[in-house]
A and B are shown apart, each in its own frame.
Chain A
Amino acid sequence: MLDILIVGAGGAGLTAALEAHRAGAKVAILSKSYPTRSQTAMAQGGINAVLTPSDSIEHHIADTLQSAHDLASIEAITQLCQGAPKAINWLGSLGMPFSRDTQEGVAQRRLGGASAPRACYAQDYTGLKLIHTLYDQVIEAGIPLYHEHFLLNCIVEENHILGITALDIRTSTVKAIAAKSVILATGGYSKLYGDFSTNAQGATGDGIAAALRAGARISDIEFVQFHPTALASSSILISESARGAGGLLIDGEGKRFVDELAPRDVVARAIYEAIERTGRAYLDIRHLGEAYIEEHLPQERKLAQLYEGVDCVHALIPIKPAAHYTMGGIEVDAQGMSAVRGLFAVGECANAHIHGANRLGGNSLLELVVFGRDTARHALTFAQKSTPPNANDTQFQKDSAFIHACFHRFTNQIDFYEKQTFLSKIAYRNAGLFRNEMHLKGVLGVVRQIQKELPFMGVKDKLSTYNTNLVEFLEFGNIIELAEVLLVGAINRIESRGAHYRSDYPQSHPHFAHPTISWKEQGVLCNAFE
C-alpha cells in the first residue's frame, strides 16, 4: 500500500512528492491533467526569499503579517520566511534556471507590498520553469503518476483517511486508491468567478470541496484576492511590473483616479469603482516608449494585441480587476494535517494561515516549496505510525453510483454551463470586490437554488471516453458547494478586512480578527469564528 498519495501535481504536489520519495516513502501522484499543465506554470512574478544582507527575514515576516491584516499565524509565517533561503537553494540544486544578477547569484526584484527586492525570478516564467524543473526530477526519480484522474472523494472511516476515489477521465470509470496518508495539493477556487478570473480552467476547488465532504474543516473561504489589472475582455493577467515601471491607471474620462502602487486590494477596488462610474478603465504605458516596452514588457504587449486588439505602445489597454488567488482553504495544523487524521493539505488548497486576509505576491510559490517539503515529512511519519481502521467499499460504491446517475438519471433539463456563467457574473458583481448583506444574501439564494437543481442538470455527452462534459459538471458541483461556504462566510463577517470589503461595514472589527471555520454536520454547513 502507498505510504502517501499526493493529489494534485502543481508546485505543491511535486515538491511534496520529491521530498517524500527522498525520505524513502512509497508515494504516487495523481492529477486531473498532466503536471506541467497545472496553474503553477502561470506564475510570472517570482518567489520570495531573503538572500542578501541588505534585506532581512524580520522584514519579510513583517511585510507578510501586515498584508495578512491580523488573520495569520506568526508562527507559520516565521516558519515560511525562515525556510525561504533554503527553499531557493534546494530549487537551485535541482537545476531551477533562475535569472541571475551581476554577482552570479539569483536575481531578485521587488513586488508589491515588499520592503525590498525579494522575489527570485526566471524572466516572466518563474512558475513555468519551477514546475518543469520539479517535474524533470519526478520523472527521473521514477515516481508513479496517475495522469487524467479526477479526485472525487476521500475514503474516510472513523475520521481516519484510507485513500481516495477518482474518476479515470479516459474511461469514466471510478477507481479506489488506498493510501496510509493523503496530501491534497489541488489548488484554489478562483474559477468560481468563471471568466472574471485570471486562473487556469481547473481552479475549481475540487480538493477543498472533497475535504469538506470528508469531514475536514475549511477556513477563510470568503477571502479572495482580485488582481487589479486583467485584460477587460478575457481576464488575462497583465503583470504588476507594468505599473511598477510607471504605468498609469486612467478612467473612462481620461483621468487618473488612484495611486497606482497602493496595495492590490485598494487598487483593485478603485478600478472597479472607476468602471462603475465611467464605464471603462485603462492601463496606460504609452509614455514608457516602444524600446522599453519591447525590452521589459514584451509579454504584455503580445497579450494586449491578441486579446484586446490594441498595441500598448500607441493605445490604452482596457482592464478590469479579476479573481486571482484564494486565501481560504483546508484548515491545517502546524504539520499540515486537516481535521481528518492522515489527510494533509498544502499549497493554494490549504489554509496554513500565511496569507490571512490578503496574499503578498511571491509568497504563494514560496509556500508550495517550504510547506510542500515539510508536509511530506509529516505525512510519512503519520503513515509509519498510524493503525488505520478496516476499509470497506462504501465510498467507492456511492461514487460509482453517482457517476452512473450523472450519465443516466440526471434529467438534463437545465444547462449547467448557463448556470455557471450566470453564477460567475453575479458572484463577481455581488460577492467580489464590494459586498453587502443584501447582495450576498441574494447570491446565496441563487446558489442554494442551483444546488437543488443539480439533478435536473447532468451531462449531454453520454459516452464514456474522455468525457470533459462530465468533468466540467463535476467541477461545477464543487464550485457550487464552495460558493455556499464563501457566501455564508462573507455574510457573517460583518466587517472589512483585506480582500473582504463590506460596503455596509467598511471598518475592521477586532471581534473578527479570527479565521472563519466551516464544516459539515450530516451534510449541513456549519460556520464559526475561532
Chain B
Amino acid sequence: MPSNETLTLTVQRFHPQRQPNTLSMSYTVPKTKTLLQALTHIKRTQDPTLTFNAGCNASVCGSCAVRVNGREVLACAYTPQEGDLIEPLRYATVLKDLVVDASHTTTLNARAHNASHGHKEEMQSIDAAHAITRQSDCILCSACYSACPVLAVNSDFLGPFALTRSWRYIADSREADTSSIMQSIQTNGIWDCTLCGECTTVCPQHIDPKNDIMMLQGKAGILGYTNPKFGGGMSFDGGFGTPDFGVPSF
C-alpha cells in the first residue's frame, strides 16, 4: 500500500524452470535512496527468490544495470519512484529475473581486438591523456547496448561499448599499431550505427559512444576504409555531421 514511507515497485520476473516462465510481481517497500537498496530489502525480507546482480554499490562495477520504465539505469544510482516497472536489460539472454548473461561484454571486446597491441612510446602529454579519459571510464554495464535500436534488427552489431573501447585504443597516442582493431570494426561495426545517440543518453559514466563512433568513421575514412552501405568512397566530412570534440592528432 503506497504511503509517504513506502512505494510499490513492479518487477518483471523470469524463471526458465517455472510455468509460466514470465510474471510481473509487485512489492511494497520502504522508501530507499537507491533501487538496489529496495531490491536488497525485498530479497532479504520478503522474497529470497528475487534475483539481481550487484557488487560495488558505487557505480563502478557495472553489475546492476536494469531498465526502469523502459530506460536503462544503474540500480545503485537510481532513486526509485512510486509505480516503477523494473525489467532486465535487452539483447542479452535473461538467465533469471533481472540477471542477464553478460558474457557478450567479453566476446564483443574480443571480436574488436580491443586491447593495447604494443606501444611506440610510454610518455604521454596531459592533453593526449585527456583524449582517452572519458572512454576509459567505461564500467561495461551494458546499458548502452540495451538501449541501442540497431541491436533490435542486427544482433551481430558490435554495439556502443565495444566501439567506444575501440576508439579508446585507437585514439591513444602511445599505441604503435591499432590496425587490427580498425580492421575488425568495419563489418557489423562503425558503419552500422545510425548515430541516433540513445547510447549516449543512457550511459551512467557520461561517455558518448555516438561521438566516438563518428570519430572512428572519420579515422577510417582517413585510412581509406569506406562505408560499404554507400558503395563508393566516403570521406570523414561526407555527411555524418561533425564530431563535437576536436580531432586529436593521430
Contacts and interface: CB of A to CB of B under 8 A. Distances in A.
A397 to B, nearest CB: 25
Interface in A125-147: 125, 127-129, 132-133, 136-137, 139-140, 142, 145, 147
Contacts of B24: none
Given A100-B124, A465-B16, A303 B58 contact: yes
A170 B129 contact: no
Nearest to B130: A100
A312 B56 CA distance: 22
B132 A97 contact: yes
Given A104-B124, A306-B79, A147 B103 contact: yes
B33 A306 contact: yes
B140 A36 contact: yes
A232 interface: no
B123 A95 contact: no
Interface string A468-479: 110000000000
Interface string B48-82: 11011111111011110000000000000101000
A309 B139 CA distance: 25
B31 to A, nearest CB: 11
A461 interface: yes
B133 A93 contact: no
A195 to B, nearest CB: 10
A200 B54 CA distance: 8
Q: Is the interface of A mostly helix, strand, loop or mixed?
A: loop
Interface string B96-130: 10010011011001100111110100111110110
Contacts of A42: 56, 58, 60-61
B188 to A, nearest CB: 18
Contacts of A136: 109, 114-116, 165
A463 B175 CA distance: 49
Nearest to B119: A93
How many of chain A's residues touch chain B, expressed as a range?
A: 35 or more
B55 A461 contact: no
Contacts of A102: 126
Contact of B116 (A129, A137, A147): A137
B105 A36 contact: yes
A37 B56 CA distance: 8
B103 A95 contact: no
| Residue among B54, B119, B136, B169 with max Cβ neighbours from chain A (10 Å) | B136
B126 A100 contact: yes
Contacts of B77: 306
A309 B18 CA distance: 41
Contacts of B122: 89, 92-93
Contacts of A128: 60, 137, 139
Contact of B61 (A37, A123, A307, A469): A37
Contacts of A56: none
Interface in A454-496: 459-461, 463-469
A131 B166 CA distance: 17
Contact of B62 (A36, A93, A95, A460): A36
B34 interface: yes
Interface string B141-170: 000000000000000000000000100110
A190 to B, nearest CB: 13
Contacts of A201: 54-57
Interface string A191-213: 00000000011100000000000
| Residue among A99, A147, A306 with max Cβ neighbours from chain B (10 Å) | A306
The 9 closest A-B pairs by CB, nearest first: A95-B116, A140-B115, A136-B115, A104-B123, A466-B96, A461-B49, A460-B48, A417-B44, A37-B61
27 contacts: A33-B53, A34-B102, A36-B105, A42-B60, A92-B122, A95-B115, A95-B116, A95-B172, A97-B132, A97-B172, A101-B126, A125-B137, A128-B139, A140-B113, A142-B110, A145-B106, A147-B106, A200-B56, A202-B55, A303-B58, A461-B48, A461-B51, A463-B17, A463-B18, A464-B17, A465-B96, A469-B48
